[in-house]
Copies of this chain bind each other. A is one copy, B any other.
Amino acid sequence: MADTGKEEAGQKKKILRDVYLFSGVPEADLEALAHLAVSKAFARQATIFWEGREAQGFYLLSRGYIKLMKSSPEGKEYIIRLVGPGETFAEAAVFSDASYPATAMALEDCQTLFFPKAPFLRHLAASPTLARNMLATLSRLMLHLTRQLEDLSLKEVSARLARYLLERCQERHGRIEKGLAFELPTTKTHLAAYLGTIGETLSRTLSRLKSQGVIEVEKGRITITDPAVLKKIASGKKR
């Protein structure tokens, strides 16, 4: 698992270069960061860490997808965030609380770089650029969490789904207009947990949107046929 030679260190540095968190960080610092990072692989379905366990560092995901989730005593789960290649996760756990606030689980076979807390903090103190990037990263995450809170407290499922579809379209094509299509990630059950609902309700809501002529659905593929109405639904307005 640990660093076994120069080649591997070079490999790691190459990964760091494309990550937002390390953008603008001087070459020498990048080198040092690559050396303190530890490669860790996880198989599909493996738990990377449990909520409540002591936080020993944060992760950079270089391959695969993972979910960050909370689960209830009854077994229901809520997905706080889906993380893909090039993204970091559990950053916040390094700075305040000693324990992870959620559980991380691999959705497929994953490759990560793990940054141990103490050495990373030492490094951070010496690199204003890195600190600034980290602040920006946390800020964006907070914005994301705030949006989810708004959705859960003020919007119903159809509005959350509509917003999600619009975001996906924007992300995939850089714009939103009639006829654009995109794939849904992973399973619909996961998407349901991400939207704060369950599979059955998501299924019904999707088919309602379809029958309203707002979208078309085939397999895991969505085509937007009426962006204007979809936006209205996403805004939560009833009439």
CA A139 to CA B96, docked complex, whole Å: 6
CA A52 to CA B91, docked complex, whole Å: 27
The answer, among B128, B138, B148, B235, for a CB contact under 8 Å with A128, is: B128
A97-B150 in contact (CB<8A): no
> Given A70-B154, A154-B72, A155-B72: A101 and B135 within 8 A (CB)?
no
B149-A152 in contact (CB<8A): yes
The interface centre, meaning the residue of A134, A150, A155 with most chain B CB atoms within 10 A of its CB, is A150
Cβ contacts under 8 Å, A149 to chain B: 70, 78, 80, 145, 148-149, 152
Closest to A135 in B: B95
CA A141 to CA B76, docked complex, whole Å: 25
**Is the CB of A73 closer than 8 A to any CB of chain B?**
yes
A78-B153 in contact (CB<8A): yes
The answer, among B78, B97, B135, B238, for a CB contact under 8 Å with A74, is: B238
A80-B146 in contact (CB<8A): yes
Q: Contact size class for A? A: 35 or more
B138-A138 in contact (CB<8A): yes
How often does this chain occur in the complex, in copies? 2
Closest to A133 in B: B95
**Is the CB of A136 closer than 8 A to any CB of chain B?**
yes
**Is the CB of A41 closer than 8 A to any CB of chain B?**
no
Q: Give A17-55 as 1s and 0s: 1 = Cβ < 8 Å from B's Cβ atoms.
A: 000000000000000000000000000000000000000
A101-B146 in contact (CB<8A): yes
Cβ contacts under 8 Å, A70 to chain B: 146, 149-150, 153-154
B236-A73 in contact (CB<8A): yes
Cβ contacts under 8 Å, A135 to chain B: 95, 131, 134-135, 138
CA A126 to CA B73, docked complex, whole Å: 46
CA A235 to CA B236, docked complex, whole Å: 31
> Given A124-B132, A146-B145, A149-B78: A139 and B97 within 8 A (CB)?
yes
Enumerate chain A interface residues (CB-CB to B < 8 A). 70-74, 76-78, 80, 92-97, 101-102, 124-126, 128, 131-132, 134-136, 138-143, 145-150, 152-155, 196, 235-238
